[in-house]
């Protein structure tokens, strides 16, 4: 125990708490993994002052405990121990029958059976639920529990020992140095180990729940003769592609709004000749107006005086700009009002 002793004062050894903390952390990690795998942890402590702590650990974790005398062969001869536990169940059944007055046993036989039942319960009641070999064993004072330590080492079980300076650390796998005679120190260290076991057991239960749900889904498949449920058996609707067609330009005003004005058209609108004389002197007020935003080749020719009766003018390949010395409009009742072309491409009557 020299590596675990910090010093000595007044003939009393002082344990190094850093080693105690290191051993506690190692034991917590090991117990967590063992409990998460579903294996049992055996708690052993037969001292009078630690019996209550060990019983509390067994109740909280649901693990087997040994608080009375260690029965030889508990681990090495486990089959015989299981047979004695079956005998305990039989004795309990006989006691229930005697209580219901349906048994033909005498009082002496009942007293003998009850005495045997108390003895088995006292020695093996803590390991009654242990149906297989434990994965680890926690021992308080391994020097006192020598038989338990030897059987565990023979069976290959991991041993976690809470030991004092009068013990041999070579007999255990994980050493937790501490005062194994004081109730408070033992309870403090056992509490840390109990919390690790509880966390591992909770994780194991969660894993089992997930596996059970998966098995239920595999055991209840959809019958092959019945159709699988769908979303109301409605046919899927394919998205229809919508094509947008450009509206036909029936007049010059629509063409003006669709096509942006080019640089040549802007030059035409800025020409001063359109302000001096109208482009067409005899054009009637029709729905088609000369477009200034399109190219000159695509614009319709202006209407003449002979077409005032309703005939359309033939398109020309070239738009001639207005000249300053245009001939004067004929006078008379058949004359049409003069129209001037504004700079913005609209028509307005001449003053």
> How does pLDDT run across 220-234, given as a tens digit for each residue?
655 555 555 555 555
pTM of the model: 0.60
Tell me which DSSP letter residue 309 carries: G
Domain assignments of the chain as residue spans, ordered by start: 19-72+133-215, 76-130, 260-306+337-351
Question: 71 in helix, strand or coil?
Answer: coil
* CB contact at 8 A, 328 and 277: no
C-alpha radius of gyration, the chain, whole number: 54
For the beta carbon of residue 20, count every other beta carbon within 10 angstroms: 20
* Alpha-carbon span 188 to 90, nearest angstrom: 39
- In sequence order, which residues have a C-beta less than 8 Å from that of residue 145 and are 6 or more positions away? 44, 45, 46, 70, 139
* Alpha-carbon span 14 to 224, nearest angstrom: 74
Per-residue pLDDT of the chain (351 residues; tens, 9 = 90+): 888 888 888 888 899 999 999 999 999 999 999 999 999 999 999 999 999 999 999 999 999 999 999 999 999 999 999 999 999 999 988 888 887 766 678 889 889 999 999 999 999 999 998 988 999 999 999 999 999 999 999 999 999 999 998 899 999 999 999 998 899 999 999 999 999 999 999 999 999 889 888 877 777 655 555 555 555 555 556 666 655 555 544 444 443 444 444 444 343 344 444 344 444 444 444 444 444 444 444 444 444 444 434 444 444 444 544 444 545 555 544 444 554 545 455 544 544
* Alpha-carbon span 183 to 116, nearest angstrom: 32
* CB contact at 8 A, 43 and 62: no
* Alpha-carbon span 210 to 202, nearest angstrom: 13
Residues facing residue 349 across a β-bridge: 339
Alpha-carbon separation of residue 263 from 7, 210, 279, 294, 295 (angstroms): 102, 76, 20, 10, 10
> How does pLDDT run across 278-325, given as a tens digit for each residue?
444 444 444 444 444 444 444 444 444 444 344 444 444 445 444 445
- In sequence order, which residues have a C-beta less than 8 Å from that of residue 97 and are 6 or more positions away? 103
- In sequence order, which residues have a C-beta less than 8 Å from that of residue 256 and are 6 or more positions away? 291, 292, 293, 294, 345
* CB contact at 8 A, 85 and 128: yes
- Indicate the CATH number of 19-72+133-215 among 3.40.1190.20, 3.40.50.10490, 3.30.420.40, 3.90.950.10: 3.40.50.10490
* Nearest CA among 98, 92, 150, 147 for reference residue 120: 92
């Amino acid at each position: 125990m020299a590596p675990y002793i910090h010093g000595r004062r007044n003939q009393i050894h002082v344990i190094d708490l850093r080693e105690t903390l290191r051993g506690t952390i190692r034991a917590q990690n090991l117990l967590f993994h063992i409990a998460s795998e579903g294996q049992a942890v055996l708690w052993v402590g037969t001292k009078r002052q630690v019996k209550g702590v060990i019983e509390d650990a067994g109740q909280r974790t649901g693990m087997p405990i040994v608080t009375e005398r260690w029965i030889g062969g508990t681990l090495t001869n486990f089959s015989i121990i299981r047979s004695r536990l079956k005998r305990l169940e039989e004795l309990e059944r006989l006691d229930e029958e005697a209580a219901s007055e349906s048994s033909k046993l005498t009082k002496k036989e009942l007293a003998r059976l009850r005495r045997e039942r108390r003895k088995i319960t006292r020695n093996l009641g803590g390991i009654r639920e242990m149906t297989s070999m434990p994965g680890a064993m926690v021992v308080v004072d391994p020097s006192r529990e020598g038989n338990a330590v030897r059987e565990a080492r023979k069976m290959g079980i991991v041993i976690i020992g809470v030991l004092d300076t009068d013990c041999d650390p070579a007999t255990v796998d994980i050493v937790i140095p501490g005062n194994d005679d004081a109730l408070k120190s033992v309870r403090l260290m056992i509490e840390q180990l109990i919390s690790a076991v509880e966390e591992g057991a909770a994780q194991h239960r969660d894993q089992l729940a997930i596996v059970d749900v998966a098995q239920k889904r595999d055991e209840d498949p959809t019958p092959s003769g019945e159709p699988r449920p769908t979303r109301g058996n409605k046919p899927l609707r394919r998205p229809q592609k919508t094509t947008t067609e450009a509206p036909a330009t029936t007049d010059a005003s629509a063409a003006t709004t669709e096509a942006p004005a080019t640089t040549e058209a802007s030059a035409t609108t800025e020409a001063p000749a359109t302000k001096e004389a109208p482009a067409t002197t005899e054009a009637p007020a029709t729905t088609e107006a000369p477009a200034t935003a399109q190219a000159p080749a695509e614009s319709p020719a202006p209407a003449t005086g002979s077409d005032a009766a309703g005939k359309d003018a033939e398109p020309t390949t070239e738009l001639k700009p207005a000249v300053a010395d245009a001939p004067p409009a004929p006078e008379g009742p058949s004359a049409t009002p003069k129209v001037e072309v504004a700079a913005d491409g609209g028509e307005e009557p001449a003053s």
